[in-house]
Amino acid sequence: MAGLSRDQLEQFDRDGFLKVEGLLDPIKDLDPIIEEYRGVLDRLARRLFEQGRLASPYIELPFGERLIKLYEETGENLSQHFDFHLPQGNIKHDTPIWVGPAVFRALTNPQLLDAVESFIGPEIYSNPVQHVRIKPPERFVAKDEEGRAKLGATNWHQDNGVVLPEADESDILTVWFSLTDAEEKHGCLEVVPGSHRDGLLTHCPAGPGGLEIPEKLLDRGRAVALPTVRGDVLFLHRRTAHASLRNVSDEIRWSFDLRYNPTGQETGRGVFPGFVARSRQNPESELRDPEDWAERWYAARRHLADIDYHQPFNRWDPDAPACA
């Protein structure tokens, strides 16, 4: 096991975040994911073209430019077609989700799990709070009634604040890495160092992002941007306040946003399927079959569609004094 150093873990404990440069191999670890998603995008583009919603399937364009065309011409938020997490409500039998083998191999990447083990120990559970974020340039994204991009900058929040209270004491670790370089102009992450020591802060309703920590509770002036290149990995404490900048570039910003916690602890979204990613005590309990993983998500989708599930993972009172 090639885990993290004592200095790195001390920095994480002090600041609530850690960037590890070059942890993943861009060619070996990331390119297979990109290739798998090319197929997802191709099928979506062809279907939209057949439905008359695109002027062309844009076969000749590279991934980023092709995706931008889809956003520009449809005016829709297409993110669910690529995500490996179901929405919080209105789940149907045909709600899009992508749970391909390259995604599963990313979740179980040995180098990634070695680093995760340094934080939370050797019994590692892949928490189902996980997303792919493909953020197009903001000018091509549909706007809400107030002119704000529906898929733009991410509001200030703590990941502990978007799961149910049952997971408040779970040692959930956020793992974030970009498949394309994420400079400030692309909308990289920004964090407030040390904010994990302030406890769980109140989150209030706020625009397309859904929830946000109000400025009166968080000194955003202390925020630092965390640009990354392909292969870098960011690790965040569950209570570290963070956001993302606007994508004002001409390119997409593409990232994976994963969670892990010690096996046996609550995930905060128990209706969705997690799995044992690593176990030193009981290796036979590890999930190693990507088809099995995919079927768990399909089964969850069928079940939640059948019961017409509409339970948001929102503990917050919009009338709380901090939200006034």
Q: Which domains does the chain have, with CATH numbers?
A: 6-323 (2.60.120.620)
Looking at residue 54, its pLDDT comes to 97
pLDDT at position 115, please? Answer: 98
Q: What is the pLDDT of residue 1?
A: 52
Beta bridge partners of 127: 259
Cα–Cα distances in angstroms (integers) from residue 2 to residues 55, 149, 319, in the given order: 50, 41, 48
Q: Answer whether 45's CB lies under 8 Å from 57's CB.
A: yes
Sheet strands side by side (includes 123-135)? 17-20, 233-237, 173-178, 253-262, 123-135, 275-279
CA distances from 23 to 122, 242, 323 (A): 19, 21, 40
- pLDDT value of residue 145: 64
pTM assigned to the model = 0.95
Task: Give residue 24's pLDDT.
Answer: 98
Sign of CA dihedral 107, 111, 113, 119: negative
- What distance separates the 2 farthest-apart alpha carbons in the chain? 57
Print pLDDT tens along the chain (324 aa).
568 999 999 999 999 999 999 999 999 999 999 999 999 999 999 999 999 999 999 999 999 999 999 999 999 999 999 999 999 888 999 999 999 999 999 999 999 999 999 999 999 999 999 999 999 999 888 766 665 666 668 999 999 999 999 999 999 999 999 999 999 999 999 999 999 999 999 999 887 768 999 999 999 999 999 999 999 999 999 999 999 999 999 999 999 999 999 999 999 999 999 999 999 999 999 999 999 999 999 999 999 999 988 877 889 999 999 998
Where helices occur in the chain by DSSP H, the ranges are 6-15, 31-50, 63-74, 101-107, 110-120, 290-306
